[in-house]
C-alpha cells in the first residue's frame, strides 16, 4: 500500500514536471525562435549562393567581380589561396576558438559529475507540494469542498514521500528521532528487566540487560550526532549566490545537508574523496545558471568547492526554479528565499545590514 502510494506520488510529480517544463521553456523557446528563423534563412541563402554561383541566382554582382579583378591584379588569386591557405592571423583565431570550445565542453562534462537526481527529485516534490497547497487554497476560496478533500489526500501522500526522503538522509532530524526512539525502547526494556528479576528469570534478565546497554550506547551516539548537526554552522545561506571554485559557474543555494547524503559511487565519480574534508562537510543544493551550464539544472556541491563571487562578477541569473523558490533578488545580487523554503530548513530570515551613510546621502539629495 505504501509502495503504491509512493509510486503514485512520483508519477504525479513526473506529470507535473512535464507540464512545468513546458511552461518554463516557453519563454526561452519564444525568444530563440527569431534566431532560429534567421539561421534557417542564412542557411538557405548560403545554399542558393553555392548552387547558383552567388546570391543573385547565378549572376555575380559587380562588387564581387571588381573584388575578383583587384585580387588577381595583386596576385591574390585562387592558386595562391590554395597554396598558402588562410592568413596566419585567421588560422590562429580559428584554432583558438576550437581550443576554447573543446575546453568548455570538457568543463561541462566534468561539472555534470556533480549532478544529483535525488536532489532534483527532492526539489520537484517540494515544488509539487507548493503547487498543491495553492490549488487547495483556491478550491477553498471557491467553496469546492470535494476537490479540496482530494487535494488534502494528495498533499498527505506527498508529505509521506518527503518524510521518507528525510529519513533516508543522515540529517539532524533523523538523528534526533533515532535518539528519542532508543530512549523509549530503553524504558520499556527496563520494565521487562524488573519483571524478569521478580520472576527469578536471571538468564532472561541478563539478556535484557545486554540489550539495554547496547541501546543506551546507540542512543548516546545518536544524541551526539543530533547535537553536532544542530549546532553546525553553514558557511552559505539559502538564496546566496556562489561560484564554483573548480568549474567557475555561478549558482544559487536552494538547500543544504550537514554532510554528503549521496552514495559512495556518486562521491567517487564527483571527486568528493579528493577534497580535504571529504564527505564529512556540509553539502549544498545549487541551482546552476542556465546560461553557463545549460545541461546542469541542480548540482550537489561540497562546501570546500564553493566561494562567494566578486561584486563585479554578479550579473544576470536565470533558472526556471527561482520563480517558485524565491521572492526575488536583493540589492547585492542574492535571492530572497520564500517562507516555505525557510521553514523547510528552519533557516532565519536574512536581513541586509543597514547603511546609515547611504541613507543620509539619499536623504540629503531629497
| Per-residue confidence (pLDDT) for residue 161, from 0 to 100 | 86
**What is the rounded CA–CA span in Å between residue 229 and residue 172?**
5
86 within domain boundaries: no
pLDDT at 144 over 70: yes
Is 132 domain-assigned? yes
- Using DSSP bridges, classify how beta strands 306-307 and 283-288 pair: parallel, antiparallel or unpaired: unpaired
- Integer-rounded Cα Rg, in Å, for the chain is 31
Residues 341 and 278 reside in one and the same domain? yes
**Least confident range of 4-8, 24-28, 184-188:** 24-28
Instruction: Please check whether residues 244 and 341 belong to one and the same domain.
Output: yes
Residue in the block written with cell 533523523: 174
Please, what is the average pLDDT of the chain? Answer: 73
Q: Is the pLDDT assigned to residue 359 strictly greater than 80?
A: no
**Quick one: what percent of the chain has pLDDT higher than 90?**
26
Residue 44, in any domain of the structure: no
Average pLDDT rounded to a whole number, residues 252-281 = 90
| pLDDT category of residue 50 using cuts at 50, 70 and 90 | very low
Instruction: Give the per-residue SS3 of 68-111.
Output: HHHHHHCCCCHHHHHHHCCCHHHHHHHHHHHHHHHHHHHHHHHH
Q: What is the pLDDT of residues 59-83, one digit of tens each?
A: 444 444 554 454 445 444 444 444 4
pLDDT at 93: 55
Residues 271 and 329 in one domain: yes
Question: 126-140 pLDDT, tens per residue?
Answer: 999 999 999 999 999
Strands, sheet with 241-244, edge to edge from the N-terminal-most edge strand: 298-302, 283-288, 250-257, 241-244, 306-307
Indicate if 222 and 196 belong to the same structural domain: yes
Mean pLDDT value across residues 277-304: 91
Please report the pLDDT score of residue 64 as a whole number: 47
**Nearest-angstrom CA–CA distance, 295 and 311:** 26
Which cell is 139 given? 478550491
Average confidence (pLDDT) over 118-129: 90
The reply to whether 199 and 287 lie within a common domain is: no
Q: Which residues contact 190 (CB under 8 A, 6 or more apart)?
A: 212
- Expressed as residue numbers, the domain containing 130 is 117-170
Q: Look at residue 124 and tell me if it is in a domain.
A: yes
Lowest mean pLDDT across 1-15, 69-83, 151-165, 325-339: 69-83
**Mean per-residue pLDDT, 207-230:** 78
Whole-angstrom distance, CA of residue 144 vs CA of residue 137: 10
Polymer length of the chain? 366
Stronger pLDDT, 207 or 34, i.e. the higher one: 207
**For residues 39 and 99, which has the higher predicted lDDT (pLDDT)?**
99
- The pTM assigned to this predicted structure is 0.60
Confidence (pLDDT) at 342: 93
Triad 221, 226, 232: Cα angle to 5°: 125
Residues 337 and 244 both lie in one domain: yes
Phi, psi for residue 305 in degrees, rounded to 5: -95, 5
- Model confidence at 113, in pLDDT bands (50, 70, 90)? confident
Which of the residue ranges 34-38, 110-114, 169-173 has the most confident prediction, judged by mean pLDDT?
110-114
Q: Is 256 helix (H, G, I), strand (E, B) or coil?
A: strand
**353 lies in some domain:** no
User: What is the mean predicted confidence (pLDDT) over 192-216?
Assistant: 87
Q: Residue 33's pLDDT is what?
A: 42
Say yes or no to pLDDT of 331 above 70. Answer: yes
Instruction: Decide if 111 is inside a domain.
Output: no
Pairing mode, strands 250-257 and 306-307: unpaired
The domain total for the chain is: 3
Residue 73 lies in a domain: no
Q: Is 86 helix (H, G, I), strand (E, B) or coil?
A: coil
Q: 258 and 313 share a domain?
A: yes
Amino acid at each position: 500500500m505504501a509502495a503504491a502510494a509512493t509510486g503514485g506520488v512520483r508519477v504525479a510529480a513526473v506529470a507535473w514536471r512535464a507540464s512545468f517544463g513546458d511552461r518554463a521553456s516557453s519563454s526561452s523557446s519564444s525568444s530563440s525562435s527569431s534566431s532560429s528563423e534567421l539561421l534557417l534563412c542564412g542557411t538557405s541563402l548560403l545554399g542558393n549562393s553555392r548552387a547558383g554561383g552567388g546570391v543573385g541566382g547565378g549572376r555575380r554582382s559587380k562588387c564581387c567581380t571588381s573584388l575578383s579583378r583587384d585580387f588577381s591584379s595583386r596576385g591574390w588569386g585562387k592558386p595562391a589561396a590554395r597554396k598558402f591557405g588562410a592568413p596566419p592571423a585567421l588560422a590562429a583565431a580559428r584554432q583558438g576558438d576550437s581550443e576554447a570550445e573543446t575546453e568548455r565542453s570538457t568543463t561541462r562534462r566534468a561539472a555534470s559529475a556533480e549532478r544529483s537526481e535525488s536532489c532534483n527529485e527532492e526539489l520537484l516534490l517540494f515544488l509539487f507540494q507548493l503547487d498543491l497547497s495553492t490549488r487547495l487554497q483556491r478550491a477553498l476560496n471557491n467553496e469546492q469542498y470535494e476537490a479540496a478533500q482530494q487535494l488534502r489526500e494528495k498533499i498527505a501522500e506527498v508529505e509521506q514521500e518527503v518524510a521518507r526522503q528525510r529519513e533516508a538522509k543522515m540529517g539532524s532530524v533523523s538523528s534526533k528521532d533515532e535518539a528519542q526512539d532508543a530512549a523509549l525502547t530503553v524504558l520499556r526494556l527496563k520494565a521487562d528487566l524488573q519483571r524478569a528479576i521478580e520472576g527469578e528469570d536471571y538468564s532472561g534478565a541478563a539478556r535484557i540487560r545486554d540489550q539495554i546497554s547496547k541501546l543506551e550506547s546507540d542512543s548516546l551516539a545518536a544524541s551526539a550526532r543530533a547535537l553536532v548537526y544542530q549546532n553546525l554552522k553553514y558557511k552559505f545561506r539559502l538564496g546566496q549566490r556562489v561560484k564554483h571554485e573548480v568549474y567557475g559557474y555561478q549558482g544559487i543555494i536552494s538547500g543544504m545537508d550537514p554532510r554528503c547524503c549521496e552514495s559512495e559511487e556518486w562521491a567517487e565519480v564527483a571527486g568528493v574523496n579528493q577534497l580535504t574534508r571529504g564527505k564529512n562537510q556540509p553539502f549544498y543544493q545549487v541551482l546552476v545558471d542556465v546560461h553557463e551550464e545549460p545541461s546542469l539544472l541542480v548540482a550537489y556541491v561540497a562546501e570546500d568547492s564553493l566561494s562567494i563571487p566578486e561584486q563585479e562578477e554578479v550579473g544576470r541569473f536565470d533558472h526556471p526554479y527561482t520563480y517558485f523558490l524565491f521572492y526575488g533578488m536583493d540589492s547585492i545580487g542574492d535571492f530572497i528565499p520564500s517562507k516555505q523554503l525557510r521553514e523547510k530548513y528552519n533557516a532565519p530570515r536574512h536581513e541586509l545590514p543597514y547603511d546609515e551613510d547611504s541613507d543620509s546621502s539619499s536623504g540629503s539629495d531629497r
